[in-house]
Structure 1
Amino acid sequence: MSYFNRLTDIVTCNLTEMLRREDDPQSALSRIIEEMEEGLGGARRSVATATRNVDRLRTEIEEHQSRIAEWIDKAKTELEAGNEDAARAALSRKQEVSDLIAGLEQQLSAAESTRTHLSTTLRALEARLTEAQRTRTQFETDVDTPPKPAVAEEPPPQPSDAERADQVEAELAELKRMLGSS
């Protein structure tokens, strides 16, 4: 039985709840960890591929930027030689390369975003795997006691209406001070 269909399933899983539903939580945990490790391997490969794509696009943009300088130099040379048509053609080619760079920069932005997303997912997967390994260690050290559910932290106390009013007044005084000094 497969526990996860997607990497996001690993990130969003409630390990304690999954184990609570199992007849043999310890062996289920071993299978879950194996699946997580496989997912982590795939995530690492995806991040590496995304990083190579970013590097390739940056290199390609740099190469095309040097071509722009070459076309500008060619246009100057042709213009100095009195050949306006050739200068115009060189500037036209420069514009084509500029348009290409603009498209590559959009692809670079998308590739960087993809790499960032995949890297974040990878770190989340690593955290889930670490959690599962800690749970397995707990099983191994205390076989008779099932893993305890994570205790939810209490939310921080919310400021009272009076505290909020004091914060607003303090911010207002700060703004008045800033406006008075400018």
Structure 2
Amino acid sequence: MGIFSRLTDIVNSNLNAMLDRAEDPQKIIRLIIQEMEDTLVEVRSAAVKTIADKKELERKVNALQREHDAWQNKAELALEKGREDLAKGALHAKNRAAEAVAAGQSQLADIEAGLAKQNEDIGQLQAKLDDAKQREGQMMARAKSAQTRLKARGAIYDSRVDDALSRMQRVERTLDELDGKVDAYDLGRPGKPSLDDEINKLETDSKVEQELAELKARLGNRTPSQA
């Protein structure tokens, strides 16, 4: 099973459990991030072990290669000294060393292929983790906004708010009645004329005086017989 399939199973299992309990969306988001981080640590730890195995095997292969070269030199020396039997024995040992070198190199190839796959998996998981962390802030903001709106909407339809508004309206009514009591004291009493009233009175008085002057003038021009 690949790391992504296993990670998906783990996350889905935990998500289903949290959804069944109606957990906070922020906790679910954090869970996904945490699972990915834990898996990344696990995969990196496995890669560290693989790298250590590779280095150890490389040392063994190098040692076998030196042993192979040494048997070659021994075979040549034995042949030079006329010991063909020793030369044959050295060549057999060299061949066994060569087979061991080939087997070790084959294992190294497998390890390097595994490391390449692990490196690819780590790269993909890191990219997904970075993307998830980037989206985490946006999703957290959306969750917070939704919770705030839900709280505000609940407050709008909360009977306590209606009761408070009703009490405020009663207070306003009481204040109106107090204002009415104050104004009632002035009912029936002559009030101080306003600026407009005084100016209108001046205009009226001026007009009356003009008409009176015109009337006197007409009456003064009449003769007694006309009177």
TM-score (norm: length of structure 2): 0.54
Matched, 1:144 2:145: yes
Cα distance in 2 for partners of 1:76, 1:88 equals: 10
Q: What are the within-5 Å matches in structure 2 for residues 67-86 of structure 1?
A: 67-86=67-86
Question: What are the Cα deviations for residues 32-57 of structure 1, in whole angstroms up to 9, with x where unaligned?
Answer: 11111110110000111111122222
- 1:177 match: none
Q: Which runs of 5+ in 1 are unaligned?
A: 146-182
Cα distance in 1 for partners of 2:34, 2:111 equals: 30
- 1:7 match: 3
Cα distance in 1 for partners of 2:66, 2:46 equals: 31
Provide closer, same or farther for how the CA distance between residues 84 and 6 of structure 1 changes in structure 2, counting only shifts above 3 A. Answer: closer
- 2:37 match: 37
**Could you tell me which amino acid in structure 1 is paired with residue 25 of structure 2?**
P
**Is the 1:11–1:124 contact (alpha carbons within 8 Å) kept by the matching residues of 2?**
no
Percent sequence identity is 26
Q: What are the within-5 Å matches in structure 2 for residues 53-132 of structure 1?
A: 53-132=53-132
Q: CA deviation at 1:69?
A: 1.1
**Is the 1:11–1:125 contact (alpha carbons within 8 Å) kept by the matching residues of 2?**
no
Question: What are the Cα deviations for residues 67-104 of structure 1, in whole angstroms up to 9, with x where unaligned?
Answer: 11110111111111110000000010000000011111
- Pairs aligned (count): 138
**Is the 2:7–2:39 contact (alpha carbons within 8 Å) kept by the matching residues of 1?**
no
TM-score (norm: length of structure 1): 0.67
Cα distance in 1 for partners of 2:44, 2:32 equals: 18
Cα distance in 1 for partners of 2:93, 2:120 equals: 40
**Is the 2:7–2:35 contact (alpha carbons within 8 Å) kept by the matching residues of 1?**
no
**Is the 1:11–1:128 contact (alpha carbons within 8 Å) kept by the matching residues of 2?**
no
Higher share of residues assigned helix: 2
Larger RCO, structure (CA 8 Å, separation 6 or more): 1
Cα distance in 2 for partners of 1:138, 1:114 equals: 36
Structure of higher CA gyration radius:
2
Cα distance in 1 for partners of 2:101, 2:79 equals: 25
Provide closer, same or farther for how the CA distance between residues 7 and 50 of structure 1 changes in structure 2, counting only shifts above 3 A. Answer: same
Cα distance in 2 for partners of 1:70, 1:45 equals: 38
Question: What are the Cα deviations for residues 125-150 of structure 1, in whole angstroms up to 9, with x where unaligned?
Answer: 111111111121113444326xxxxx
